[in-house]
Structures are given as structure tokens and as C-alpha cells.
Structure 1
Amino acid sequence: MNAIVAAELDPTFRDELAEKMKSLDFANCLACGMCTAGCAFSDLHPDNDPRKMLRKVILGMREELLKDPFIWYCTMCERCTVECPMCVNIAAVTRAIRGNFRTDSPGFLQKVVDDTIRSGNQMDVQPDEYMETLEWLQEELQAELGDPDYHIPIDVEGADFLFGFNAREVKYYPNELQNILKIFYAAGANYTLSSQKWDATNLALFSGKDEDFWKITEPMLQEVVRLKAKELVVTECGHAFRSVRWGYRTFWKGPQFPIRSILEVLDEWIQQGRIKLDPTKNPEPVTLHDPCNLVRKEGVVEPQRRVLKAAVMDFREMFPNGRWNYCCGAGGGALAMPEYTEQRLIKGKRKVDQLLATGAKIVAIPCHNCMDQFNDLNKHYKLGMKMEHICSIVERALIMPEKKPKV
């Protein structure tokens, strides 16, 4: 280890960072090492030690810190914060350093942010492509449901909720959006989609640039107001859900409204009897991944478990789970940083070991970002498992209501 030269330390750095964060929470650090003990990845590859990173902050080792690979290796999962006796949020510190002191945004992270600001969605889907996809899905659902009068509600004012989703569901996985809309149909949901701002994702959550972040998330919240919806419901995407909720709490000054995950809504509908499920349609053993942004950061822990227990015959927990879960290894924007693919897959081995221990055949993954990582892990480690979103599992078990004869 290199010697620390006092004359080279910058005592102003800590205060400068604290001002950027509007908080001094990291000043409470005891240097006890519980963060490193709690990090699931600290022993897997070099430069992945949260305690060392934070000590550089506290000591004012500006130059060493700003060259530290940890700043981009960290998945910002907050597993270290769960263990910290002083509740120091190292993920928040890491994000603040990324957005305010580093200019070397790896991979295509900043490109996706720029594309989202320009086009309104992270996949650069053009308005005509979006509307054509919805028209196609409408035709597919009319045929599947046997209901030629079925229409996807777009820009309907006064709905119970505006549904915000992930651009992947339009660009690459429209079949999954179709499954979701089918569930809405079965529940008799009073909802709307927006023709203007529909992508709830925001990779500036990971780049750390608050100005970019708010340019992306504010229009999503404004759509709720424009369409006079009672609440915003967000698809199975941990970082999309985290983005709108965190942005709402941190920056939003407009009218107040609830923001819920689709998993919370499904849980409510099942308990109310609005949708009925046949778990025999899902006989294979199923385990559940807990996305960090959805579970540890936003506290949605039990709804997805109740939904799965109603939808499958054999539900098996991974351990640890819930708030104590392990990150899949792709958090913090890692999927947008291909130069760190090796480290990402190494981190994923922790999750692979958990999966294999359950003996499950299907992994329920309520997050698009995590889904991409699990698909990579499935291929890289030759797991032979099936990776699915919870809505797809629910749709398979869905008992469609009897059609009422037309008068």
C-alpha cells in the first residue's frame, strides 16, 4: 500500500462533496469496515472495496479518489448501507462523485441519457413507431380476446392510473406489453397510456447528473397532471420505478399523487378478486430475484411474493432475500459499460450460486435491467433456466372472465 502523504491531502474535498450532496451523512463514518463486509462483491475482483473509497473521501485524497475504478465498479445497490451502523449511504456518495467530479462516463451510459433527453425514451423509438406498435398490439389483443371492440386507451383524461413502462417493452419485447394489457383487460382496469411521455426509465440515475435526470423524469410526472390521472403505475423495472419515485420526492413541486409498482397493483387486484389465477398453469418450481432499486431502495418486498404464491405451484425463496438480497451484478448502469463486462459477470456468480441452491427451473425477475443480466448469466454459466417477468407468469395463469352477452 502506498504511503499517505499529508501534504498532498485536500481537506476541502469533503466539504465540496457534502455541498453537492446537500448532506454530510458520510462524515459519520467510523471506518469499521461493515460496508466492505456487507458488500457481496468486495472480495471478487480488485478495486471493489467501499471502505477504502469512503476513507479517501474523508481524508481528502481527491486525486486518488477521482482515479479510483470503484466509482464505476460500484453497482450502487446499497447492500453496504444496510450493514452500516451509521447509515452512511455509499451509493449516494458514489453517484454524487460520478455526476459532479468525473467526466469519463464509461461505455454508452451518457449516450443513452442524451438520446432519452432528445427523443423522450432510452431506445430512441420515434412517435410513429410507438403508435404503430400500439396499433399492432391492439389488433393482436382483439384477436386473442375475441373482442373486436377492444381499444388501448391513449391520452384518456381522468383515468385511475397512467401506466409508465420501459422502452424495451416497445422496442424489443412488445409481447410482454401485450401480456400486461391483457391483465388490465381482465381486471377491467380504468387506465391510460400517454402518446407523449411513456418511458419511465432514466439512466441519469446512474450517471449522477441531476440536471439530466430531471429533464428525463419531470415530463413523466407532468403527464400524470396533464391527463388528470389519479396515480402513476410503473412497469416491472426497478430503476424506472426508483427514478420516478426518487425524482418525485427530491425535485417535484407540482400536484401530489401516488406512484406504485405494477406488482403492488396486481397484488391488490388478486386480493380483491378482480383477477383470478390458476396456479396449475405454472407447475415448475419458481424462485424470485429482488431488484435492489425496487426492494432495498423503494421498499416493495411482499407484493411480488403474494402474487407469485397465487400464480405458481412451487415458489422457492433464495437466501438471503428481500432487503438483504444480493445485487445481480448489473446495477449502477453496469450494462451500459461494456468495458466492465468481465467484472459484471464475475459479480453475477454470487447470484448464480443462489439460483442453483433453490433447484428452481424458472426465475421471476421484476426488472428489465436485471433481466438482461440474468439472460447473460444464464448463457455464460450454462444454467438452462427460464428467465421471466412476473407479469408473464401471471398472464399464463390468468383465468379470463366470462364475456357478458351483448344486449
Structure 2
Amino acid sequence: MAAQMQSIASTSARGVVAPRRRAQLRVSAVAELERLATQSASRRGVPEGTPVVPVRDLPSRPRRNRKSETVRRAFSETFLHPANFILPVFVHDGDKNIPIDSMPGVARLGWQHGLVDAVAEARSVGVNQVVIFPKTPEELKTPTAEEAFNPNGLAQRTISLLKDKFPDLEVYTDVALDPYNSDGHDGIVSDAGVILNDETIEYLCRQAVSQARAGADCVSPSDMMDGRVAAIRGALDAEDFTDVSIMAYTAKYASAFYGPFRDALASAPKPCAAHRRIPPNKKTYQQDPANFREALREALLDEAEGADIMMVKPGLPYLDVIRLLRDNSALPIAAYHVSGEYAMLKAAAERGWLNEKDAVLEALLCLKRAGSDLILSYYATEAAKWMADDKPSWR
């Protein structure tokens, strides 16, 4: 640097350097002095042994947009709010809440008391949407699942009670036969082991209409039968339930993450008499986890058939599918943060392997970032409380 300044002075004295060139050299010298000063300042307080390096000439430094909480919040691209959550609730026809062993912190709620308390708590922190899953007594289950559309059934009574207690609560229902089917399948099973598609749809329509009569705001076919959205839309409209929405389980995969849910409702496929074949899984109607394009085919059909919302289930293992639907439809997209995902987070947190609050809020934020407008999660109430107590960039 000294030599450069001396050269400038020497050449200037001889009058050899043109005025513009002298100005350029002076600017260069000043810049070098500023760089050295910056480098010296940046080394204040660094650990001994930190290498001395020149400041890199980086015109773009993304970390500048992360340098403070204020800046990070200003540039946050994704916002999570309790209004995005739907709380799944398991109900049974009794008074006491029954804990579910595989889902710590979740219980089958007594439909008249425990359920009302749980919904009131959720509403107090901004969660005003629930989806109802009834635990049907075994003696009411049959191969054809007529209990699904019993006007005095547990689901129907629960819907009416909630709408009476909380008129502005958004109540979603589950439309499928497995909670009522003695074979444990979402549809009627033939003796040969075939899940009957069109025959099942007839009962799904009756189920959806019975739920609408009870006061449901949105029915949610989770069965994955072909053509059921159009049939349910037609059945609802024929009964003047044109305001009742349909949230279609559009991309519901034959996943290993549903185990705790099936424990909660005792809805897993069951063996039967020797003369009948009961498929041990639901792979002939739920989607193959290996498939991506198939979800788009289902989405195009559901939207054309009248779905108001489309869902991806499970959530976190299928973020790419959530994004696929988001990029190809103007409909709201829902994601189900399923029982297996909940159980994994709970188990890791109980062992001290994860910070539960941080991991849960990150998981829910990722579902939102991928493109979901609604998130069904057993953590809904707890997450809303964490978000109220803390003000990180989740919101």
C-alpha cells in the first residue's frame, strides 16, 4: 500500500499520469485502506487461531437478510396461524375419556362432556375447526356398515351437539365405512375379497347426507372409491345441502403411518370366516407410496367432480405431493399430520431426543410451506398455545 501511494506521488510530480488516472489510483488506494480497516475490525473478539483471510469480494451475501429477528420476520415467506388448524377428535359413546396408548396425550373423548371441554379449549386459543372420528361399538358393526348413516348414530349425535354448543364451529366429518364395517375396510367386501366400488358409494352418499342433516359444515370422503365425490355432491344437492362442502381425501396413500389411528378406532382390517377372503391391507384402493403422477390424476378428477378442498394424507412424507396439488389447482389444499407422525414426535420428545415444541412447530410450518392451507393435526391445540406464548417467525 505504501509503495502504491509513493508511486502515485512520484508520477504525479513528474506530470506523467493523466488527471483521470490519478483519480482512479487514489480511489483504489482508499478502497484498500477501507478493506484493511474492515478486516481488522472483523477480527476483534475472534478466537485465537482464527485464520487471517482477505474479505471476499461477494456482491451477494444472503446472510444479510437473516441478520436480526426483525429482518427475518420482515422477509418470512410462510406464516402459520391457529386458523390453519383442524383438530381431529376421537369420540366414544361413554362418559369418561379413554387414553390411547399409542398416542400419548390423545384420548377417546366422552361425546357429551370430554369432547365439549376439548373443543372449548381449542377455541380459546384460536382453533375453531374439528373433524370427528367415532369409535363404534363392536356390536354395531356389520359387513355392510349401515350404522354409518344411522340418524341417531354417535357421529350424528356428536355433530348436532357441537353445532348446538358452538354454532360458529366448523365441523368436518369422515365419510368412509371402516369405523362401522366389521371387516375393517372403507368399503363393502365381497366374499372373494374385492372392495366393491359402486355399491360402497351408495352407502357413502347416505352417510354424507345423514351427516349434513345433523349439521355438518363439510363432509370428508376418505374412502378412495372411484367417483365418490361426484356422487356425494349430487346426493347433497338433491337434499338441498348445497352449502355443505366436500373435503376430498384426494391423495390418500396406503401408508404405514396410520397404525395409532387404527388403534384409536379399532378400524384395521380383520380376518373373517373361512369362506370369505378379507384383504389384510387397503392397497387396492389407497394409493401406492411409490407413485407421484397418480396423485395429479386423482386431483383432476376430484376437482372436476365438485370437491371444495383436496387433502394429502399423510403429510410430512408427502410434501412433494402437497406441492404438486398446490401448483396444479386453485382449490384449498389440506394436509393430514397423521397419527404415526404425531406418535414419532411424542416418542422422541419423551426420550429427550427432540425439543418437542420446536420440532412440532417446524413440522407444521413445513406442511404450510409446501402448499397446504389447512392442517389436520393432533397437536393443533398445543401448537396454538405455543404460538401464543412465543412469537417466533412461525406466524
TM-score (structure 2 length as normaliser)? 0.28
Question: Structure 1 or 2: larger helix share?
Answer: 1
* Structure with max Cα Rg: 2
